[in-house]
Structures are given as structure tokens and as C-alpha cells.
Amino acid sequence: MYQPSLFNKNALIGSAAYLEALNYLDGTLKYGIKPGHERINALLKELSNPHRRFETILVTGTNGKTSTARMIATLLASHGYKTGLYTSPHLHSYCERIEINGAKISEEELAKALNDIKPAIKKADKATGDPLTNFEILTALAFYYYAQEEVKCAVLEVGMGARFDATCLTKAKVSVITNVELDHTDYLGNSIEEIAKEKAFAIKEGSKVVLGALRPQAQRVVEKRAAEMSADIKNIDRDFSLRSAESGLDNTQKINVDGLFFDYKNIKLPAAGRHQAINAAIAIVAAELFNERLLMVKKFKVPLSNLSFDGRMEIMQTYPAVIVDGAHNPAAARNLGRVLREEFEYDKLILVLAIYKDKDYKAIATELLPLANNVIFSENSSQRCLKADKLARLTNKSNYQVIKPLAAAIDVAKGIAAPGDLICITGSLATAADARMILSDERLNGSAE
């Protein structure tokens, strides 16, 4: 079911207090990404260390973090735990990042929480002489909110790496590493080993660790860190497994998971792609480890089947089918390509592509361009977006157009698509966010006519 109000820009700014909070948070984006824990530690100390008042599960990895974290939180909430969920980045609103038991923090609650912690932010900035970043402030705000609301557990998506990430100041009971691929190489390193080392810092002393399928060089690095931390590792395809996944006609799949304490059968997952089925298996085992016993299928089956994964292989329209996906690195593009080849039926594929210039856009394009009958190179609204003309140089075929902005590209794609065709809009989360807004506005305008 569509909820157009979620995508209406005006509806996202519902009060003067929230607009003030939005302007404040956006103003901190200029401080960028800065390593180190001195700033966030100073702020949390001023707030009486709210992150120590609940247990946590840390979820890191190159891809699949948000989906996996969301599924873990749903599983735990269905078993009676008051569960916080913290994810990043957001598609449309800061409120998307902070949830309790599936309910997003309201604009009023976010504005109030920010006002509550502003004096502490000012003191921390003065103490360190180094302004807190946007991500650090949001993370501290989430910790403060969860402590105020007395959550039992918070599932925290690690922003990037783990060594210096603000989320990793918590002592996780369970740590999850979904996968390790090349991404954010300017911050994390240029090799799988270097990136694995950064992500392995999510493993805490005595924690339980759940691993997806890692490359051998990443596995070795993670195992070394786990041994140093006396942490117990559970590996997919060794200690637990995705036994089977059967795709449905409605962008869903039924999965069977052999867990640690129980074998879970006929679980409906409202997402396409084997990678999402693997994420679900990882989520089930992480929740088992937190719960310290088997999960009750009758409790989580319906909540899990009702989940939505915004901007992840999301079907926005039908006839022709229009999907948006935030694939923003080669591994994610590879997963998307596999789903397009194996799980969707269509006559022609029309690809609308807009990618960040600081990503491996050549490798992303290499994964996706051969699948398309028609390609439209475009640009999203971010200043980080690669120029469409430059992106278009990656193909020597004649089946492409350069059309910007994205709204015009989508309009052209829909104009050339027959009812049996598939339009895929992808390249980054910003592309997915813009496309969702554009397509939702079209639905609103269409319903108004």
C-alpha cells in the first residue's frame, strides 16, 4: 500500500520547531566525516552516557546493513522487546533514521530531543574545540531518545567502517558483518583486508558474531579480531544456512532457514533477491543470539511479511513495471543485475542511471549496462552526482540517451516503455530517493485529476 504523505516534501516539514531542527542539522553537514571518538565521547558524557542504558546489536558490512538491521529489529520487537532501530542514510527525512518498535520518531519528538541535547552539544564543541559532525549529533540524539523511552535493545546500523564510528561506542551483545566488498575506499582502505579490519572493530569483548559469506581474506581478518575479543563467531553455511528461497510473482519470496536453535520454514519475505533472503537468515540468527533461544514463528511471521524496504528493489508502479533501487557500489549493482536476470519477467529493460562521481561508477555501469535494451543516463539532485554526459561515455552502443534532470528521464522512459517492459531507476540512494519523490508526486497528481 502506498502512503503518499511520506513522499510529500511539504508534509515532511510539519512545524516551525521541526523546520528549525532541520536547518540546524543540515547546517552541521559542512563538518563532513571526521575520524576519532573524542567529540562524540564528550557529548555522551555531557548527556550522562545514554548509550549504556540499553543493550545493542551492531550491524556493519558493505551492503545489506539497513535491510538486515530492520529485520532484526522487527524480529525482536515481535518477541516483546522494546526495540530501537537506528539506520543511515535517510531517503527523505531525518525521522526515518530513528524508530522504536517500527514507529518512526515524529517530527515533534525529533525537534524536542535535539533541543534537549543542544546545550550538551555546545559544551562538547567548546571542550574539544572541534565541532561535532552531523552523524555524531544524530547518533547521540538517537541514544538519548532510546534512553528516555527506556528501550530494551537498540539495533544500530554502523555508518561506515567501525573503528571510529559513533555507533560503535556501545558494547554490543551481538555484532553482525553482512559482507565485505570494496566501497568507501578513500576512508576505509583500498583492499578487502583493510576494509575488513575497519569493519571488524564492530566486534566487542565477549560478543556473539554473525557473519555472512565473506571472502577468505576478509574472513581471516575478522577471525583474528574475534579471537582477540574472545568473541564467538557463527558463520553462514557452517553454523546456519539459507536452506532455500522461492520467488513469488509479487516481489516476495518464501524462505527456509536452518537457524542455530530451530529450522524456520515457509517464512514470507516482502523483498526480491537471494541477497535479501541471505540478509533474512543473518537477521534470524542475530535475533536468536540476542534472545538466547529459538524464535517463535507465530510471533514474527506477520510482522516480517509486512516490512517494507524503501528504495531497495522497490516496485513503484506496474504496467509498465517501475522499480527503484539504491545500488551504489559494484557489489550492490551485481546483486541488482542478478535479480533483474533471474527473478523478473519483462520484454525490454529500460535502465535509468544516475551515479555519484566519488563511487566506482565504471564498475557499477559494467554490471548493469549489458542487461538493458535502452539506457537513459541522467543526474540526481545531489552535487555529488556524476555528469550524465561523462557517464554516457562508458557505452559504445547506440541504445542510449542523455536526459536530465531525473524527472525528465523518468518521463521519457515511461514514454517509450510498453506495458510488458521494466523500467529500473538506480545508481545511488539519492537516485532512489529522487525517483520515489517524482513517482509519488505523479501518483498524487494523477489521483487529483
Residue 126 above 70 pLDDT? yes
Report d(CA 274, CA 286) in Å as an integer.
18
In CATH terms, 15-305 corresponds, of 3.60.15.10, 3.40.1190.10, 3.30.365.10, 3.65.10.10, to 3.40.1190.10
Structure letter (DSSP) for residue 68: H
Q: What is the mean pLDDT of residues 249-257?
A: 88
Q: What is the pLDDT of residue 443?
A: 56
Ranges of each domain in the chain: 15-305, 314-448
Average pLDDT along the chain:
91
Structure letter (DSSP) for residue 105: P
pLDDT above 90: percentage of residues in the chain: 82
Q: DSSP string of 120-150? A: HHHHHHHHHTSPPPHHHHHHHHHHHHHHHTT
Q: What is the pLDDT of residue 185?
A: 60
Is-same-fold flag (15-305; 314-448)?
Answer: no
Q: What is the mean pLDDT of residues 416-445?
A: 90
Q: If phi over 0 gives left and psi between -120 and 50 gives alpha, with beta otherwise, what is residue 333?
A: alpha
Sign of CA dihedral 395, 396, 400, 402: positive
Query: C-alpha distances in angstroms, 179 versus 173, 210, 219, 432?
Result: 19, 11, 10, 22
Strands 253-258 and 241-247: antiparallel
Q: What is the pLDDT of residue 139?
A: 97
Nearest to 65 by CA among 278, 241, 216: 278
Q: What is the CATH number of domain 314-448?
A: 3.90.190.20
Measure the CA dihedral 170/175/180/182, to 10°: -10
Report d(CA 349, CA 192) in Å as an integer.
33
